[in-house]
Amino acid sequence: MMKRIYSKHIPKLIIGLPLSGLVVTVILISFITYLTIKNNFDKQKEIITEEFMENLKQITKQRTNIAYNIIDALYKNNINSPDPKTKTLKILPDILDKLKWGEKGYIFVMDFKGNTIYHPNHKLIGVNRWNLQRNNVKIVQLLTKKALEHPEGTYAKYWAYNPSGKQPLEKISYLKVYKPLGIYLGNGVYLDYLDKKLLKKQEEHQKLYKTLIRNIFYLSLLILAVMISVLLILSFWVRKLFLQYEKELKTEKEKLFKRANYDSLTGLLSKSYFESLLQKEIFYIKRKKDLGAVLFIDIDGFKEINDSLGHKYGDETLKEIAKRLKRVVRETDFISRFGGDEFLVFLKDIDQESMVIEIAQRILKEIKEPIKLGEHTHHISGSIGIALIPRDGENVEEIIKNADNAMYSAKRKGKDRFEFFTKTLSELAKKRINLKNDLYEALKQDELIPFFQPQIDKNDNLYGSEVLVRWIKNGRKIPPFEFIPLAIEMGLIDKIDLFIIEKAIKQYNAWKNMGYKPGVLSCNVTMYQLEKTDFATHLKEIIEKNNFNPDNLNIEVTEESIMKDPQTSIAMLEKIRNLGININIDDFGTGYSSLSYLKKLPVSKLKIDRSFIKDIPDDKDDVMITKTIISLAKNMNLKVIAEGVENKIQRDFVFSHGCDYVQGYYYSPPIEAREFEEKYLKENNGS
């Protein structure tokens, strides 16, 4: 407001300044006159240039279209002749010779191999100028490429033939393809005419400037009146500059506001701006006793896109999700990219929960639509947590936190769904936060230990054991289903797996030194871990540091994770196999392996998923599937392990059909090293 008042008073302030005398006035007026003329010339120069270029394009296009219509008429007139193309091209020069305009304007015709079909210089007709070069540019190749890329018509700028025989001149031509004859034609205007026009205008301005200076000298006696007039003009000019400055300042403020309050990638509200708007909406909702809702959205499967395709495609995915969210919500609602692959949506003026449910369902449907990234189509989903206002919170922090808790509940229940916040979820969230903090300490405090589940052959001899991580805190066992998902989410699963593998290897070496024969160790990892460049390196370091024979280590990877990207899986598993480590496919039968990929995978064993074993012999489908898997493995020279064997009938069944090893509660659940040693090493090896 202050700036606007100041700019209005500029004329009065300038007029009120003391007049500095005749000499100063003359110099000032001369300088202002110079600036005014120069500014005027610059503007006219821009206008002349713009008009020249526009007229140039229109003229060349019109002329080319005239020639095009003539050629088309000639060709259609000869269409019934034995060779219409040859006949048309033969008479073409006589016709086009008549199409000449001023400013050296003429039509030229070329074919796509660089042959000159027509040129006003008839010596060039029939000449192949494919490699014609001017200013280090192959002109004919440039024109041909432009014409082929835009057969319906386009402009090209290049150094052209000069009819006067002097140096080539810069030219702009309009090109158009005539498909029936396999040719393209063009007409252009030389840009040196622009320079001539500008030079002429400059001379006019210089002449004007000299005249004005002379007049100023003669009128110096009247300078006082002139100066007052000039000062008035100057004051308004300065005022105009101030107003322009205000406008630019306002524009810059808007840019800064957008940069500070909107996400640069998606264009959605930033986290802080969303929270400030939400705080206002909470106030209005409470006052009017309305209902609002906050939806916390997390993209399921986004990490895999980022890790496998890179951040470029990850960013493309986020931008596409933002567009889809905008399509669903109303104009009164607003959306924020909360961070990473998380989004927040505020729904205003909600009549009832059913409206929130409808919008949440539409959002899930939009997110599930396939996304085209590069050459591949990807499928993702979303998990949504919903907090209602004012029921689920009195302030921004509480509402967002509760929506976040509900979102994690949706993830735990299988993803691609939405969940409303409840007080129970709040209690679970507190427990979850505490568990996260404790998990960091668990690695430091050595609370994570390996358990061993024996794997037995058909003669009831020990083949080896599967290594499973267990967390014992203050004497209490924390179930794996509680902390393993947290470890994956926190990015700790790599450290935990490598930590447990090394502890198991050290225990294995201790048993060997005691004269026992512990067989082989089988350890579970995910393809996500194997795809990390440093996982295989760390594994190699552990093996070498502990002087461990890698042939005694099996790495188990689930069939489902392998089949998400078989080609990449083959490459990653080859790296592990090259370390001398054996590869087992875990949970086989659940991931729909293609036999063509299965035979390429560097695996030595298939592990039948427990879901096919638990209902044997009552379930005929499970019986048939189990027999088929064993038969398939034998035909491919692979060993077979059946997991989840819980009774003698199941044990006898799988062994009778050729299974090599079993594990399950029939023999033992996973147990600590001391108990495993007592039951399976001392008995088999003696002590």
Query: Is the per-residue pLDDT at 217 higher than 80?
Result: no
Q: What is the pLDDT of residues 558-596, one digit of tens each?
A: 877 777 677 777 888 888 888 888 888 887 766 555 566
498 vs 575: CA distance, rounded Å: 16
The one-letter amino acid code at 661 reads Y
Judge contact between 606 and 570, C-beta under 8 A: no
387-391 contact pairs (CB < 8 A, 24+)? 387/293, 387/294, 387/296, 387/420, 387/421, 388/291, 388/292, 388/293, 388/350, 388/353, 388/356, 388/420, 388/421, 389/281, 389/282, 389/285, 389/291, 389/292, 389/293, 389/294, 390/282, 390/285, 390/286
Q: Would you give the DSSP letter of residue 599?
A: T
Q: Of 75-89, 163-177, 419-433, which range is least confident?
A: 419-433
Query: Is the per-residue pLDDT at 514 higher than 50?
Result: yes
Q: Which two tokens stand for residue 102?
A: 């001023």
Of the candidates 294, 344, 347, the one whose C-alpha atom is nearest the C-alpha of residue 322 is 344
What's the start-to-end Cα distance of the chain, in Å?
94
Judge contact between 679 and 451, C-beta under 8 A: no
What confidence score (pLDDT) does residue 127 get?
92
500 vs 555: CA distance, rounded Å: 13
What confidence score (pLDDT) does residue 213 get?
65
Query: Is the per-residue pLDDT at 22 higher than 80?
Result: no
pLDDT-based confidence at residue 2 (cuts at 50, 70, 90): very low
Taking the alpha carbons of 472, 439, 524, 613 in that order, is the dihedral positive or negative? Answer: positive
Which three-class secondary structure state does DSSP give residue 527?
helix
54 vs 49: CA distance, rounded Å: 9
Query: Is the per-residue pLDDT at 524 higher than 90?
Result: no
What confidence score (pLDDT) does residue 116 get?
93
Q: What is the pLDDT of residues 257-283, one digit of tens each?
A: 667 678 888 888 888 888 888 888 888
Of the candidates 77, 74, 56, 60, the one whose C-alpha atom is nearest the C-alpha of residue 183 is 74
644 vs 668: CA distance, rounded Å: 10
Of the candidates 680, 595, 585, 598, the one whose C-alpha atom is nearest the C-alpha of residue 641 is 585
Q: What is the pLDDT of residues 156-181, one digit of tens each?
A: 988 877 766 667 778 888 999 999 99
349 vs 389: CA distance, rounded Å: 11
Read off the pLDDT of each residue in 119-132 and give the average, rounded to a whole number.
90
Judge contact between 296 and 406, C-beta under 8 A: yes
Query: Is the per-residue pLDDT at 18 higher than 50?
Result: no
Query: Is the per-residue pLDDT at 319 higher than 60?
Result: yes
Q: How many CB atoms lie within 10 A of CB 460?
A: 10
Query: Is the per-residue pLDDT at 5 higher than 50?
Result: no
Q: Does domain 271-421 have CATH number 1.10.357.140?
A: no
Range of 30-34, 278-282, 604-608, 648-652 with top mean pLDDT: 648-652
Name which residue leads in pLDDT, 656 or 472: 656
What confidence score (pLDDT) does residue 686 get?
46
Q: What is the pLDDT of residues 531-567, one digit of tens each?
A: 665 778 888 898 899 999 999 998 888 877 777 677 7
- The domain segmentation of the chain, as residue ranges, is 20-234, 271-421, 448-685
Q: Does domain 20-234 have CATH number 3.40.50.10680?
A: no
Of the candidates 668, 663, 648, 671, the one whose C-alpha atom is nearest the C-alpha of residue 610 is 663
What confidence score (pLDDT) does residue 597 get?
65
What confidence score (pLDDT) does residue 1 get?
40
Read off the pLDDT of each residue in 104-119 and give the average, rounded to a whole number.
88
Q: What is the pLDDT of residues 221-236, one digit of tens each?
A: 666 666 667 766 766 6
CATH numeric code, 448-685: 3.20.20.450
Distances in Å between the Cα of 57 and the Cα atoms of 15, 44, 50, 140, 567 are 49, 20, 11, 20, 53
Q: What DSSP element (H or E) covers 288?
A: helix 271-288
Q: Which residues are CB-contacts of 673 (< 8 A; sequence separation ≥ 6)? A: 449, 450, 452, 507
Q: Of 321-330, 438-447, 578-587, 625-634, which range is least confident?
A: 438-447
Q: Of 213-217, 351-355, 409-413, which range is least confident?
A: 213-217
Query: Is the per-residue pLDDT at 68 higher than 90?
Result: yes
| Residue 256 burial (10 A CB sphere; 0-12, 13-18, 19+) | exposed
Of the candidates 181, 147, 149, the one whose C-alpha atom is nearest the C-alpha of residue 64 is 147
Query: Is the per-residue pLDDT at 46 higher than 60?
Result: yes
